[in-house]
């Protein structure tokens, strides 16, 4: 019962197939090959516009490289206070951006409220030319957020309008973008450039790939220095066609969305099941592939004792558990987990009432 992370999963069959296919033949290095060209063309199709896209192997690289194209070293980007770029990348944005500063905003569920963004930027506006300050140059959103929250196309638009008004570029961390598309039912274009996003990290690794993300620029000018930055950060892979091929596999016949829909459905099934257990509280109204629940420590520990793998936080008697599903989560795993949870809950009730 593996619910720890979608990056604990293996790789999906079409991804393995293209790796096998490329493994058996020669090809140009450093992205000068037909697979890389094809992946670029497919991303243009998926996003219904002319993009510039660049495969990389990690989300941290994708985010940091993208942000370094939007934000000067003496500038700052705003992000949610649970953002991966803030909390989980060991200061990679600062490294890639030569010292640019992340400024966290309070963001319940990992979703930045437009009023909070608006106030923050308005408060800083009078100092934007003050050489002593670190002016805001960019905003970074995460959709699906790190806490499972979802931005609709409309919400995204509202935020980028505020950003735009203050001259900020917008980055979207889309490590779980597929799950966001599946959850909203919106077109990829509607959740990104039509909503004002300038550049995104398009995630593959959490959605069935082995190690493939793409930095996708909708604002083509913003990509100007990207290739130099990627190369000197060691993120231009020699056999890059293997990364491109993984993206190709995901994008072919909507495989990426199938994977994400499946993961979301599994999380939905978990949520519906757990909602019926009185001792468990679902946190947030999340529709993606991540579920946050609150329950007592005895419960989370009992689950783990019975073989469930997931992260739990909290040092007191109550804990927050994060359950993540992936393309490879099975209905059987969900059923087994729910059954176990129900059994433990009723055993616990019996115990309490006896």
The neighbouring-strand residues paired with 48 are none
In angstroms, rounded to a whole number, what is the distance separating the alpha carbons of residues 161 and 147? Answer: 24
Q: Is 258 in the site for its own copies (CB under 8 A)?
A: no
Q: Which residue lies nearer to its own copies by CB, 47 or 242?
A: 242
Query: Which residues have C-beta within 8 Å of that of residue 129, sequence separation ≥ 6?
Result: 135
Q: Is 190 in the site for its own copies (CB under 8 A)?
A: no
Q: Binding its own copies by CB under 8 A: which of 40, 60, 82, 319?
A: 60
φ/ψ (deg, to 5) at 84? -55, -45
Tokens representing residue 252 in the block: 């072919």
Q: Is 11 in the site for its own copies (CB under 8 A)?
A: yes
- Please state the closest distance from residue 43 (CB atom) to its own copies, in A: 20
Q: Which residue lies nearer to its own copies by CB, 60 or 155?
A: 60
φ/ψ (deg, to 5) at 291? -125, 130
Number of residues that bind its own copies (CB under 8 A): 74
Q: Is 300 in the site for its own copies (CB under 8 A)?
A: no
Only segment of 37-45, 73-81, 152-160, 340-348 that touches its own copies (CB under 8 A): 73-81
Q: Binding its own copies by CB under 8 A: which of 115, 119, 128, 225?
A: 225
State which of positions 82-121 bind its own copies (CB under 8 A): 87-92, 94-102
Q: Is 297 in the site for its own copies (CB under 8 A)?
A: no
Q: Is 307 in the site for its own copies (CB under 8 A)?
A: no
Q: At what angle do helices 34-47 and 241-251 cross, to 10 degrees?
A: 40
Assess contact for 140 and 67: CB atoms under 8 A.
Answer: yes
- Peptide bond between residue 30 and the one before it cis (omega within 30 degrees of 0): no
Q: At what angle do helices 241-251 and 13-23 cross, to 10 degrees?
A: 140
State which of positions 129-158 bind its own copies (CB under 8 A): 131-134
Q: Is 24 in the site for its own copies (CB under 8 A)?
A: yes
Q: Which residue lies nearer to its own copies by CB, 57 or 186?
A: 57
The neighbouring-strand residues paired with 214 are 55, 202
Q: Is 66 in the site for its own copies (CB under 8 A)?
A: no
CA angle 177, 179, 180 (to 5 degrees): 65
Tokens representing residue 127 in the block: 């100092």
Q: Is 332 in the site for its own copies (CB under 8 A)?
A: no
Count the neighbouring beta carbons within 10 Å of the beta carbon of residue 340: 16
Q: Is 10 in the site for its own copies (CB under 8 A)?
A: yes
Q: Is 325 in the site for its own copies (CB under 8 A)?
A: no
Only segment of 46-54, 142-150, 236-244, 343-351 that touches its own copies (CB under 8 A): 236-244
């Amino acid at each position: 019962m593996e619910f720890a992370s979608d990056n604990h999963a293996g790789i999906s069959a079409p991804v393995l197939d293209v790796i096998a296919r490329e493994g058996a033949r020669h090809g140009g290095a450093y992205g000068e090959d037909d697979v890389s060209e094809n992946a670029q063309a497919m991303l243009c199709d998926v996003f219904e516009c002319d993009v510039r896209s660049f495969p990389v192997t990690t989300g941290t690289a994708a985010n940091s490289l993208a942000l370094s194209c939007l934000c000067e070293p003496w500038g700052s980007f705003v992000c949610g206070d649970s953002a991966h770029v803030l909390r989980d990348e060991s200061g990679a944005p600062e490294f890639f951006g030569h010292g640019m500063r992340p400024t966290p905003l309070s963001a319940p569920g990992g979703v930045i409220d437009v009023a909070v963004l608006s106030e923050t930027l308005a408060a800083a506006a009078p100092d934007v030319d003050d050489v002593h300050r670190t002016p805001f140059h960019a905003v970074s959103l995460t959709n699906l957020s790190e806490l499972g929250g979802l931005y609709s196309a409309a919400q995204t638009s509202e935020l980028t309008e505020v950003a735009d008004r203050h001259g900020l570029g917008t980055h979207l961390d889309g490590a779980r973008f597929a799950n966001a598309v599946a959850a909203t039912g919106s077109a990829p274009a509607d959740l990104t450039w039509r909503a004002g996003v300038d550049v995104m990290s398009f995630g593959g690794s959490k959605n069935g790939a082995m190690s493939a993300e793409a930095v996708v620029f909708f604002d083509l000018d913003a990509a100007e220095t990207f290739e130099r930055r990627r190369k000197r950060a060691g993120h231009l892979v020699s056999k890059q066609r293997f990364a491109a091929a993984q993206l190709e596999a995901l994008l072919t016949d909507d495989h990426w969305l199938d994977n994400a829909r499946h993961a979301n459905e599994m999380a939905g099934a978990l949520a519906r099941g757990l909602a019926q257990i009185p001792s468990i509280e679902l946190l947030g109204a999340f529709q993606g592939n991540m579920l946050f629940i609150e329950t007592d420590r005895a419960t989370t520990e009992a689950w783990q004792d019975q073989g469930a793998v997931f992260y739990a936080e909290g040092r007191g008697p109550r804990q927050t558990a994060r359950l993540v599903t992936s393309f490879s989560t099975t209905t059987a795993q969900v059923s087994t987990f729910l059954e176990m949870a129900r059994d433990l809950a009723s055993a616990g009730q019996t115990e309490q009432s006896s």
